[in-house]
Amino acid sequence: MGETGFGTEGSRPRLAALAGLKTEDRQGTFHVYLIKPSKYDDDGFVIRHWRGVVPSNSLACLHGLTADARERGLLGQVELRTHVIDESVSRIPLDEIARRNRAAGCRAVACLVGVQTNQFCRAADIALSLRREGVPVMVGGFHVTGMLALFPGVSPEIRQLLDAGVSVVAGEVEHRWHELLRDAWEGKLQPIYRLIDDPPDLYDAACPRASREATRRFVNANYATIDCSRGCPFHCSFCTIINVQGRRMRYRSPECVTAAIRRAHRQSGIRIFFFTDDNFARNPASSDILDGLIAMRREEGIATEFMMQVDVPAYRIPGFVEKASQAGCFSVFVGMESLNPQNLADAGKVQNHTEEYGAAIRAWRKARVRVQVGYIIGLPHDTEESVGTDVERLIREVQPDQVSFFMMIPLPGSEDHKRLVESGVAIDPDYNKYDSCHETMPHARMSGEEWTAAYRDAWRRFYSLENMKAILGRVDPSIYWDALRNFWWYKYAIVVEGAHPMLTGFFRLKDRTTRRPGFAREGRVAHLRRRLPEVLRLLRSSARLMLEMEELWLATRRVGETETLVLEELARIRSGMGWRPRVSELRAAYLRTKAQMPSIKVPSRLSLLWEQVALFRASQLCDSRRDLARFWVRMRWRLRHGRIEGLLRLDQIAVNAYRELRLASGFFMALVTQAD
Chain contacts with ligand SF4 (rule: CB under 6 A)? 232, 234, 236, 239, 241-242, 278-279, 311, 335
CB of 257 to ligand SF4, least distance (A): 19
- DSSP secondary structure letter of residue 309: E
CB of 121 to ligand SF4, least distance (A): 25
Residue 538 gets the label, from left (phi > 0), alpha (psi -120 to 50) or beta, of alpha
Identify which of 37, 49, 35 has the alpha carbon closest to the alpha carbon of residue 501. 49
**Which CB, 391 or 554, lies closer to ligand B12?**
391
Among 101, 276, 304, 514, binds ligand B12 (CB under 6 A): 276
Q: Which stretch binds ligand B12 (CB under 6 A): 75-83, 136-144, 472-480, 655-663?
A: 136-144
Cα 106 from Cα 78, distance rounded (Å): 10
Among 118, 211, 215, 514, binds ligand B12 (CB under 6 A): 118
Cα 172 from Cα 244, distance rounded (Å): 9
In the three-class reduction of DSSP (H, G, I as helix; E, B as strand; rest coil), residue 83 is classed as: strand
**Which CB, 411 or 484, lies closer to ligand B12?**
411
Q: Is 336 in the site for ligand B12 (CB under 6 A)?
A: no
Question: What sign has the CA pseudo-torsion 593, 594, 596, 598?
Answer: positive
Question: What sign has the CA pseudo-torsion 199, 201, 206, 207?
Answer: positive
**239 within 8 A of 187, measured Cβ to Cβ:** no
CA dihedral (215, 220, 222, 228) in degrees, to 10, reads -80
CB of 449 to ligand SF4, least distance (A): 28
Q: Residue 311: which of ligand SF4, ligand B12, none does it interact with, CB under 5 to 8 A by kind? A: ligand SF4
Q: Is 145 in the site for ligand B12 (CB under 6 A)?
A: yes
CB of 428 to ligand SF4, least distance (A): 22
Q: Residue 412: which of ligand SF4, ligand B12, none does it interact with, CB under 5 to 8 A by kind? A: ligand B12
Cα 581 from Cα 449, distance rounded (Å): 56
Q: Is 406 in the site for ligand B12 (CB under 6 A)?
A: yes
**Which CB, 31 or 557, lies closer to ligand B12?**
31
Q: Residue 435: which of ligand B12, ligand SF4, none does it interact with, CB under 5 to 8 A by kind? A: ligand B12
Distance spanning both ends of the chain, measured CA to CA: 63
Identify which of 354, 359, 358, 280 has the alpha carbon closest to the alpha carbon of residue 323. 280
Q: Residue 413: which of ligand B12, ligand SF4, none does it interact with, CB under 5 to 8 A by kind? A: ligand B12
Cα 48 from Cα 506, distance rounded (Å): 9
CB of 53 to ligand B12, least distance (A): 8
Residues linked to residue 608 through DSSP beta bridges, in sequence order: none
Q: Which stretch binds ligand B12 (CB under 6 A): 128-136, 167-175, 595-603, 610-618?
A: 167-175
Residues linked to residue 226 through DSSP beta bridges, in sequence order: 275
Q: Residue 279: which of ligand SF4, ligand B12, none does it interact with, CB under 5 to 8 A by kind? A: ligand SF4
Q: Is 615 in the site for ligand B12 (CB under 6 A)?
A: no
CB of 351 to ligand SF4, least distance (A): 7
Q: Residue 236: which of ligand SF4, ligand B12, none does it interact with, CB under 5 to 8 A by kind? A: ligand SF4
CB of 335 to ligand SF4, least distance (A): 5
**What are the b/e assignments for 75-110, b being 16+ CB within 10 Å?**
beebebebbbbbbbbbebebeebbebbeeeebbbbb
Cα 415 from Cα 236, distance rounded (Å): 8
- Which residues within the stretch 486-545 sit at the binding site for ligand B12 (CB under 6 A)? 500, 502-503
Q: Residue 339: which of ligand B12, ligand SF4, none does it interact with, CB under 5 to 8 A by kind? A: none
Among 413, 482, 486, 612, binds ligand B12 (CB under 6 A): 413
Q: Residue 56: which of ligand SF4, ligand B12, none does it interact with, CB under 5 to 8 A by kind? A: ligand B12
Among 40, 45, 142, 185, binds ligand B12 (CB under 6 A): 142
Give backbone dihedrals phi and psi of 665, rounded to 5 degrees, phi first: -70, -35
- DSSP secondary structure letter of residue 625: -
Q: Is 240 in the site for ligand B12 (CB under 6 A)?
A: yes
Identify which of 373, 620, 619 has the alpha carbon closest to the alpha carbon of residue 486. 373
**Which CB, 110 or 241, lies closer to ligand SF4?**
241
Q: Residue 553: which of ligand SF4, ligand B12, none does it interact with, CB under 5 to 8 A by kind? A: none
Identify which of 380, 588, 551 has the alpha carbon closest to the alpha carbon of residue 472. 551
**Which CB, 268 or 351, lies closer to ligand SF4?**
351
Q: Which stretch binds ligand B12 (CB under 6 A): 11-19, 54-62, 158-166, 300-308?
A: 54-62
CB of 658 to ligand SF4, least distance (A): 52
> At a CB cut-off of 8 Å and minimum separation 6, what does 501 contact?
53, 404, 489, 490, 493, 494
Q: Residue 497: which of ligand B12, ligand SF4, none does it interact with, CB under 5 to 8 A by kind? A: none
**What are the b/e assignments for 36-67, b being 16+ CB within 10 Å?**
bbbbbbeeebbbbbeebbbbbbbbbbbbbbbb
**552 within 8 A of 480, measured Cβ to Cβ:** no
* Interface ranges with ligand B12 (CB under 6 A): 54, 56-58, 61, 88, 111, 113-114, 116-118, 138, 140-143, 145-146, 169, 172-174, 180, 225, 227, 239-241, 245, 276, 278, 406, 411-413, 435-436, 500, 502-503
